[in-house]
């Protein structure tokens, strides 16, 4: 976590706080107003493309600024420096990324105070700091992050598509494409999933797949995850197996964090986030079934539907 502090001049208007969530596919911003004794009141929201500097480089900064400006526009306010900005961004736990983001925030004069965390930390804002919590994200990538009641934290996953991201949207699609080429080779039976993927890719046969794969970005590939999930929802055996494997990998991430923090059954709260877990997808359903049957179950399971608002809450908590 990185916090930059500066003196704030008094203003007649209630202070403003901004929460920004940025991942491998999109960035969302939430502008809120702070009033004493009241929860933050949302004034405006903005959206843009990927906010992960490790994935899209300098384009991430352009996307972050666009989402922030849209939030001000949605609130019918001119862009201005807010009291506190919480950037909850994938990859922001790396020193080099934090330094670039800090310089950018100063250069753009975005905030008096900056709170910088990775996306898994902000999502835990729904859990009291006095209670142990684990957040699990499965979107374009995957990550588990935990914190015990004393502030000790551990992270598992978040290694990116080349080394990890098991159970993520990208992983799910890549494994589906592997099933497609295996069926083309006759190494496994063809199911409806293979024809769905070929149709979605708008290619005539599997031999065109390597060229398509090289040309398309990680977020474009991950964007095909709903095709796999839809097939699983219609009981396609290949798609259902992939969803079960994804759920198993994600459960292992939860268990690893819990074990490293010394958390036992019922001693922590779990927050699920990301496109594969924030809705009732086949992966989310399979994961919940595995958790219920596990010897290491959370006391409560939350679902984060608004990560940018989670970042706002975290900013207010550190106010």
Q: What is the mean pLDDT of each successive set of 10 residues along the chain, which is 319 residues long? A: 45 85 88 87 94 84 95 95 92 84 93 90 87 93 92 90 89 93 84 86 82 88 93 93 97 95 90 91 95 89 91 81
Neighbouring C-beta atoms of residue 144, cutoff 10 Å? 26
For residue 113, the surrounding DSSP H or E stretch is: strand 111-117
Phi-psi region of 58 (alpha: psi -120 to 50; beta: other; left: phi over 0): alpha
**Which residues lie closer than 8 Å to 164 by C-beta, 6 or more apart?**
141, 142, 157, 158
In angstroms, rounded to a whole number, what is the distance separating the alpha carbons of residues 318 and 129? 11
User: Nearest to residue 86, comparing CAs of 6, 18, 16, 34?
Assistant: 18
In angstroms, rounded to a whole number, what is the distance separating the alpha carbons of residues 184 and 223? 23
**Residue 86 CB burial class (10 angstroms; 0-12, 13-18, ≥19):** buried
In angstroms, rounded to a whole number, what is the distance separating the alpha carbons of residues 256 and 99? 30
For residue 135, the surrounding DSSP H or E stretch is: strand 133-138
For residue 24, give the 3-state DSSP assignment: coil
Place of tokens 């994935």: 55
- pTM (2 decimals)? 0.85
What domains does the chain contain, in order, with CATH numbers?
2-117 (3.30.420.40), 126-303 (3.30.420.40)
For residue 289, give the 3-state DSSP assignment: helix
In angstroms, rounded to a whole number, what is the distance separating the alpha carbons of residues 279 and 277? 5
Return the pLDDT at 318. Answer: 56
Return the pLDDT at 106. Answer: 93
In angstroms, rounded to a whole number, what is the distance separating the alpha carbons of residues 308 and 29? 6
In angstroms, rounded to a whole number, what is the distance separating the alpha carbons of residues 113 and 84? 5
Return the pLDDT at 278. Answer: 87
Which pair of tokens denotes residue 20? 């920004």
């Amino acid at each position: 976590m990185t916090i930059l502090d500066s003196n704030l001049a008094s203003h007649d208007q209630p202070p403003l706080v901004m929460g920004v969530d940025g991942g491998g596919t999109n960035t969302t911003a939430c502008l809120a107003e702070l009033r004493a004794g009241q929860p933050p009141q949302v004034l405006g929201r903005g959206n843009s493309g990927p906010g992960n500097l490790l994935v899209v480089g300098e384009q991430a900064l352009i996307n972050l600024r666009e989402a922030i400006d849209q939030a001000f526009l949605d609130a019918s306010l001119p862009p201005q420096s807010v009291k506190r900005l919480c950037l909850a961004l994938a990859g922001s736990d790396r020193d080099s990324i934090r330094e670039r983001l800090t310089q950018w925030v100063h250069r753009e004069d975005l905030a008096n105070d900056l709170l910088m965390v990775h996306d898994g930390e902000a999502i835990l804002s729904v859990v009291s700091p006095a209670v142990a919590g684990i957040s699990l994200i499965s979107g374009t990538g995957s990550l588990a992050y935990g914190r015990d009641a004393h502030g000790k934290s551990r992270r598992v996953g978040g290694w990116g598509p080349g080394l990890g991201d098991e159970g993520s949207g990208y992983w799910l699609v890549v494994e589906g494409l592997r099933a497609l080429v295996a069926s083309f080779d006759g190494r496994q039976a063809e199911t409806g999933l293979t024809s769905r993927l070929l149709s979605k890719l708008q290619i005539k046969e599997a031999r065109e797949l390597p060229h398509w794969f090289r040309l398309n970005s990680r977020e474009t590939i991950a964007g095909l995850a709903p095709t796999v999930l839809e097939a699983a929802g219609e009981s396609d055996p290949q798609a259902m197996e992939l969803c079960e494997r994804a759920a198993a990998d994600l459960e292992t991430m939860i268990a690893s964090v819990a074990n490293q923090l010394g958390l036992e059954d019922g001693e922590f709260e779990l927050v699920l986030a990301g496109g594969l877990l924030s809705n009732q997808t086949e992966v989310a359903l399979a994961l919940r079934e595995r958790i219920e049957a596990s010897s290491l179950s959370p006391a409560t399971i939350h679902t984060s539907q608004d990560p940018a608002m989670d970042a706002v809450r975290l900013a207010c908590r550190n106010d």
